[in-house]
Structure 1
Amino acid sequence: MPARDVYANGIRLRVVDEGQGPAVLLVHGFPETAHAWRHQIRALAEAGYRAIAPDLRGYGGSERPEAAESYSVFDIVGDLVGLLDALAIDEAVIVGNDWGTTIAWQVALMRPDRFRAIVAIGVPMMGPAPMRPTQLFPQNEEALFYTLYFQEPGVAEAEFERDVALTLRKLLFAASRDAGPRRQGDGTPNPFSMVSRRLGLLGGLPDPAELPAWLTEDDLRTYAAAFAESGFRGPLSYYRNLDTNWRLQRSLAGLKVGVPALYIAGEQDVGLEMPGMREIIAAMPALVPQLRGNVFIPDCGHWAPQERPDVVSGNILEFIGTL
């Protein structure tokens, strides 16, 4: 899909902007780009909406600040508010997946004046952690939790950039339904789990003999070209701000998401197998009083907008139609 550069919040963002009508802002996760929303962009535009999907800062064709501290959730929220300003849009519905959902929840929390509703895919709204996130994640002599593996600058970059196409193929496949059922501790590869200090993250993940039906060779080439351009330093810097985000978000203590919300997840999303995740989902109404419901999509993994595009697009359109 054609994209253009937009200057927002002092940074250049590569943006896909299709259709006319009420605005819907689509925020991708890791390791993705705006290409992750290719199906929803088309569906929304055809239904009379303006679909806007940026490459987030550090990704694809967007600008890549050097400093890791430039990737806090507050910086990204500023980018998205600035993007609305640059496009002369007063308000939008925000839709996120994976990291994009984490950002979308904070956008809805901080700026309900600009974002009138949220569709959150995969990641539920969570209350504040009792301590710095890096103190909560497990590690031992043999392995460490993947978010801890991402903390040391240069380590994951060296592994991921050695063969970008292989990295993306393994990460995207391993978190999808096609990799099969997973439970923590049963030995089945899960990219959102423990990482061997000896093998790295990719060493424990399968390399599929063929791509799943939802990810074509052209799709993989598009992603690989984007990450060959951007590298992984910017995307990994989002994880390197987990403690900073925790510290800064204490200023928001007690706030609730005050706009209408819909939560969607694939029934085979490996993120749901993280300890305590289903309890967090059940407790969401206390943090999101206008939660309109939870949708769990059968035969669907972590990349729901790509794995089950028609179902995701249909739920987004149905939800927006009720606003």
Structure 2
Amino acid sequence: MRIARWLDGTQVREGFVEGPDVIPFPDGRSVASVLAEGLDAAHTLHARAVGDPGAGRRPLGEVRLLAPVTPPSVRDFVSFEEHVEGVSAGVEGKSHVAAEWYEAPTFYFTNPHTILGPDEPVRPPVTERLDFELELAAVIGGVPGSDGANLDPLQAASHIFGYTIMNDWSARDLQAREMKVRLGPCKGKDFGTTLGPWIVTADELAPYLDDEGFLALRAEVRVNGEIIGEDLVSNMGWPFPELVAYASRNARVVPGDVLGSGTVGNGGCLGELWGRNGRLSPPPLAEGDEVSMTIDGIGDLTARVGAAVSAPELPPARRRPRSRVRD
């Protein structure tokens, strides 16, 4: 099944993508409620919708797709060793993967309030090093009797409702400055994450699973029609159920949560190539550039770079006297 959100005229609709058409969910359900009810209930709902001649079926080409989910949280992992090697060369001057990377799948939280949909332009901050990041993302669904906490990998697999493509836009110059404070990226990533074109349910991708549980999906990215990077998602260091299990450790994953794989290797972002090439080649993204991503079994996700948005200036930190009592 494919699940989507779309704009039909001025109205937001949510439902299934069935062949060349979209079909709204029965009974006014939303993507959020369908995710909460879980995959089995979604299959039952799908059968009802497809079999109802009065369901409001519309040609896909006559509506505008939106981001397929409005996530309560977005975790973004860094699970491709090859990506770490390339980016570290650009940041540290040499290719290096820290020993700690191998110990556990590291992630950071990014902004769920700046989610973008297919063909929606990204409006970056003022930056000289705008970059894309090609990722596959898991979308969490509900499982009866589970609160999503402290899952083992087998339990975690049942919480993966489906997958979508994720473009983690990055302002590398801002990111490089702020990460020197040792808290991870913030404004270098805060301005936009593109998801889409829809959610493909996990059962649809089962034929791509290899013997170790990795998804052997081909992923590629083009800028203005020229292929920049290509990789197999199965090159990630941990399969998705282990990422979900780690995210739930002493915490919870809840329906609608999005967990990005991290950037694929072999040119999944420009930053990796800049590190390997020792220069800004290919060049950073500029206004008007078109970034198109394709992942087997999911589809295509395309967006253009819009005009940068200037922000109000803030002063630097003040040197304070460190007094312990008020004057």
Instruction: Classify the TM-score, shorter chain.
Output: under 0.3
TM-score scaled by length of structure 2: 0.25
The structure that is strand-richer by fraction is 2
- Between structure 1 and structure 2, the one with the greater Rg is 2
